[in-house]
Chain A
Amino acid sequence: MINAAFAVLLGALVVFGIRDLSGKKNPWTVIGWALVAAAWLAIGVFLGTRWIKSGHAPMSNQYESVIFLNWAFLGLALLVGREFPVRSPGLWIALFSSLLLALASLLDSAAHPLVPALQSDWLLLHVSVTMAAYAALAIGFLSAIACLWTQKIRRRSTDKQFDGFAYRCISLGFVLLTIGIILGAVWANEAWGSYWSWDPKETWSLITWFVYALALHLHQTKGWRGSSFAAVNASGFLCVAFTYFGVNYLMSGLHAYR
């Protein structure tokens, strides 16, 4: 199923590429988004069957959570991707999603029985909300990259829509990230005896959270727009990536579930 989703996404990438090069909107845009929707469905079926087979939410290791993240990302993109103010937003979406799936293929995909600490309904709540946050922040990141690309490489100005879209994505991401971290804290208090232990994963999630809090305040109170806002936004997402991957491989701690 994942291979099928990957193939469909590559198809979408080609279709959106044709749309971008030809400059013709129809029928390529519709076909492209239909393919994205198909990939989203395929990943959903994969997650659903894995859930039924294993008897627990498919979020218990890095592989499963990356796939879930991809599913949330595509789902959100289907909802709001059209507003992404570039010529063919689908191209960015399909590219990011297929890169993420390619990355997932490098991870251990075996399903293992759950260790005691993960046997909890909080697993579903904490991971799904956090991944949904990452999905929103990822779309915000794409628009930051698009903005930096337009301003710094192509030396063109970007309009208000860019900031508006990026700001909305990271506002949504920030709400979800806050709730995701809180759910994690409540779970930690049930399982480990403390809602906060300054474990590296926790600390890096807080770093990420503060960077986005900074971004929101700079946007709202200091009027940061354009490339300076995009730079904070992009740094926030680098923190997401480090919290999500870097910490697992470079630092040890309670969260070492890989």
Chain B
Amino acid sequence: MIESQETTEQTDTIKPAEVLVKWAGAGWEALTSIKLFLVLVPLLLIAFIAGTIIPQDLTGDQLYERYGHFLARFLEAIRLNDVFHAAWFNALLAFLGLNLAACSIRRIKAVAARPGVFMAHIGILLILAGALVRGAFGRKGTLPMFQGEMADKFYLPDGRRERLPFQVYLSKFWLEHWNEPSHELDITLRSNGARTSRKVRVGETLALDGASLEVASYYPDFYLNGSAPQNRSAEPRNPALEIIFKRGGISKNLWVLDNFQGLHGERFEEGNIAYSYEPGRIRQFNSTLDIYDGAHRATGGTINVNNPISFKGYTIYQYSYDPANPNYSSFLVTKDPGTPLVYAAFILLSAGLVWNFRWRRHAPLGLPSSLSSAKGRQ
């Protein structure tokens, strides 16, 4: 009797703490285990694959249209239409981080033996940490501008405007091309029924089946003012060619337009001519920006794709342009205080892996590691 009383007394007072310790021990054991890693990775792989085969940019209605009511609701419920922002997905990444941290702490004694492995593991942990910083403090939006405009706000993806801690002035925007624009004519003459396609230059005269066609002039932005052809600007918004057609004593002036022609081009008595304007391949688009901090110009320069400009933690990227409006340029504005951390982690990870790599190393090194349990699976 006394014995049993003693035991009950003991369990009453000590058990909760013991259980806690036991649970904490088991939790720690699980967190440090390679088994957790071997479970997390397949789960992550499933998430990644889902995120690439299910379209991630469909709005509610599009989703319903594509998958039907039932499936769409299911996809939405577990956020398979936005995997990479889903809470469960980020929880998986968080567990991977905890797993790595715990495993690195537990194997801290192995640092001397395998410093590269330790560095690589910490590197991945820091990449995850950097991504967390980006999630918490990062900003990304667009800034559409016209030449000569000053701006101090940009648009977040949800349409809200956010103030920048400086002002941006777009002094100049221009496109560079790999090749000059070219003009192509597709001519069918009724006299012989043959069809001819030619690249032509302004001033050139073509001789076809006894007729001559002179490419007399080029109007990049053609319009008719009453009956008088005029040019509105130097930008190729409505490219047109003037062709002087001659056969025998007859001469006729024709206007062929790239934009508003019928399917078969411009018809006239002798046949028809289709004109297409090839704008030339874009080489680069450039914007010259001045950045003002209050009243004085703090920095500035020309940016283009692959050459952004940074100021006060924000980076401005050349993003897009409008082929129809040469004064318009749009920018991407980002802020990510996690980037230095991620870059440091990149260096740590690469250096760790390079350090760890030996071509001549057959078996795993003998390590004071309770984790390396070689079961010899075949």
A residues contacting B by CB (< 8 A) are: 80, 112-113, 115-117, 119-120, 122, 160, 164, 168, 171-172, 174-175, 178-179, 182, 185-186, 189-196, 198, 200, 203-204, 206-207, 210-211, 213-214, 217-228, 247, 251
Contact = CB atoms under 8 A, between A and B. Distances in A.
Contact of B349 (A80, A122, A178, A207): A178
Given A191-B305, A203-B48, A213-B41, A116 B376 contact: no
Nearest to A115: B282
Nearest to B142: A193
A220 B372 contact: yes
Given A193-B317, A228-B378, A207 B41 contact: no
A220 B353 CA distance: 15
Given A210-B44, A217-B34, A251-B52, A172 B357 contact: yes
B377 A204 contact: no
A214 B44 CA distance: 12
Ranked nearest first, the 4 interchain pairs of A and B with the lowest CB-CB distance are A223-B374, A116-B305, A113-B178, A226-B378
B87 to A, nearest CB: 16
A67 B63 CA distance: 40
B59 interface: no
B306 A190 contact: yes
B155 interface: no
Interface in B320-361: 332, 334, 336, 339, 342-343, 346, 349-350, 353-354, 357, 359, 361
B353 A214 contact: no
Q: Interface residues of A: mostly helix, strand, loop or mixed?
A: helix
26 contacts: A113-B281, A116-B284, A116-B304, A119-B283, A119-B284, A119-B305, A122-B306, A178-B353, A182-B346, A182-B350, A191-B306, A192-B332, A193-B332, A194-B334, A194-B336, A198-B56, A198-B84, A203-B51, A217-B34, A221-B372, A222-B374, A223-B373, A223-B374, A225-B377, A247-B52, A251-B52
B339 A195 contact: yes
Contacts, number: 122
Given A182-B350, A217-B34, 19 more contacts: A112-B281, A116-B284, A117-B306, A168-B361, A172-B359, A175-B357, A178-B350, A185-B346, A186-B343, A193-B308, A193-B317, A206-B48, A210-B41, A218-B38, A221-B34, A221-B371, A223-B376, A224-B377, A228-B378
Contacts of A186: 343, 346
Contact of B339 (A117, A122, A189, A228): A189
Nearest to B343: A186
B177 to A, nearest CB: 9
